[in-house]
C-alpha cells in the first residue's frame, strides 16, 4: 500500500471489551503460501503482535492476552523452536527499550523455567519494568497450557493443605483463580482464534468459562486492526447471559 492510500484507522467499535485473548495461529501457513520457511511466518506474526497490541492500547482495552507458545509446541523441530525463542528475545529487548515510550506493560503466563535462561532473565526484567507503569497490559503465554496451569494450581493448594495452612473445604472458585497465572486479571471477555481452526488448543481453559468466541480464516500475520474491529463489533452484538435469562 502506497502512502497515498493510507487511511485513518476506523473508529473503534464501542464499547471496547476489557480483556481480549488471541491465539496467534497461522504463521506457518502464511509463510507456506508465500514459499517462505515457517520461521518467516513467525517473524511476520511477531511484528503483527506489536501492531495489534498498540492498537488495543489505543482503543482503551485493559488487557490483551496472546497465546505465543504452548506446552505442546515443543513437539516442533529444534530449528523452529529456536527461531521462535530468538524472535521472543528480539521482541523483549525492543519492548524493554521502548516501554517508557510505548506504555505496553508485559506479563507472562506459563512455566518459564523451560525457556532458555537468557529469555527467562529478559522476561523477569520486562515484568519488573512493567510494574513501574500503569495502564494497558499485554499477557504473553509462553510454554503455557491450560491444563498445566490448573494442575499447578491444584498442587499449590494441596501443598498448603499438607502444610496445615489451608483446608480443602475452604477452597472457592475465586480462591482457585488466585492460584492461576492470571491471578488478579479479569477473565477474557472475547477469545479470538484466527487461521480457521475451531478449537482452544489448551488455551485459558479455566478463564474461558464465559468468554465469547470469534473465529476467522484470516491467518495471524494478516490479521489487521480492522479484523479486530469486526470481532469487537460482533462481540458487542451478542447477549451475554452468564446463565441468567
Task: Determine if 108 is a binding residue for ligand IPE (CB under 6 A).
Answer: no
Which residues are marked as active site? 25, 73
Contact string 1-30 vs Mg ion (x = CB under 5 A)? ------------------------x-----
Cβ proximity to ligand IPE: between 176 and 206 the closer is 206
User: How near is the Cβ of 236 to ligand IPE at its closest, in Å?
Assistant: 25
Sign of the CA dihedral running 105, 110, 115, 120: positive
Give dist(CA 49, CA 116) in Å, integer: 21
Please name every residue paired with 19 in a beta bridge, in sequence order, or none if there are none: 63
Residues 69/197/10/105 CA torsion (nearest 10 deg): -20
Cβ proximity to Mg ion: between 25 and 149 the closer is 25
Contact string 10-49 vs ligand IPE (x = CB under 6 A)? -------------xxxxxxx--------------------
Kindly state the DSSP code that residue 222 receives in the 8-state scheme: G
* 115 exposure class (CB count in 10 Å sphere: 0-12, 13-18, 19+): buried
User: How near is the Cβ of 86 to ligand IPE at its closest, in Å?
Assistant: 13
Of all residues in the shown chain, the one whose CB is closest to ligand IPE is 28
Contact in structure between 38 and 80 (CB atoms under 8 Å): yes
Instruction: List contacts with ligand IPE (CB under 6 A).
Output: 23-29, 67-70, 73, 84, 195, 197, 199, 201
Amino acid at each position: 500500500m502506497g502512502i497515498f492510500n493510507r487511511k485513518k484507522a476506523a473508529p473503534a467499535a464501542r464499547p471496547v471489551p476489557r480483556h481480549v485473548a488471541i491465539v496467534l495461529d497461522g504463521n506457518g501457513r502464511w509463510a507456506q503460501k508465500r514459499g517462505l520457511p515457517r520461521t518467516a511466518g513467525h517473524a511476520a506474526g511477531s511484528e503483527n503482535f506489536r501492531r495489534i497490541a498498540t492498537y488495543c492500547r489505543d482503543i482503551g482495552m485493559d488487557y490483551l492476552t496472546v497465546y505465543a507458545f504452548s506446552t505442546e509446541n515443543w513437539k516442533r523441530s529444534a530449528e523452529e523452536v529456536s527461531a521462535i525463542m530468538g524472535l521472543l528475545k528480539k521482541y523483549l529487548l525492543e519492548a524493554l527499550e521502548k516501554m517508557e515510550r510505548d506504555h505496553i506493560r508485559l506479563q507472562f503466563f506459563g512455566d518459564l523455567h523451560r525457556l532458555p535462561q537468557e529469555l527467562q532473565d529478559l522476561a523477569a526484567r520486562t515484568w519488573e519494568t512493567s510494574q513501574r507503569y500503569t495502564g494497558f497490559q499485554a499477557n504473553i503465554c509462553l510454554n503455557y497450557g491450560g491444563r498445566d496451569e490448573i494442575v499447578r494450581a491444584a498442587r499449590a493448594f494441596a501443598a498448603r493443605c499438607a502444610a496445615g495452612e489451608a483446608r480443602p473445604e475452604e477452597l472457592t472458585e475465586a480462591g482457585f483463580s488466585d492460584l492461576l497465572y492470571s491471578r488478579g486479571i479479569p477473565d477474557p471477555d472475547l477469545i479470538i482464534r484466527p487461521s480457521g481452526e475451531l478449537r482452544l488448543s489448551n488455551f485459558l481453559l479455566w478463564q474461558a468459562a464465559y468468554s465469547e468466541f470469534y473465529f476467522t480464516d484470516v491467518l495471524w500475520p494478516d490479521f489487521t486492526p480492522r479484523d479486530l474491529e469486526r470481532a469487537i463489533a460482533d462481540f458487542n452484538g451478542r447477549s451475554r447471559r452468564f446463565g441468567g435469562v
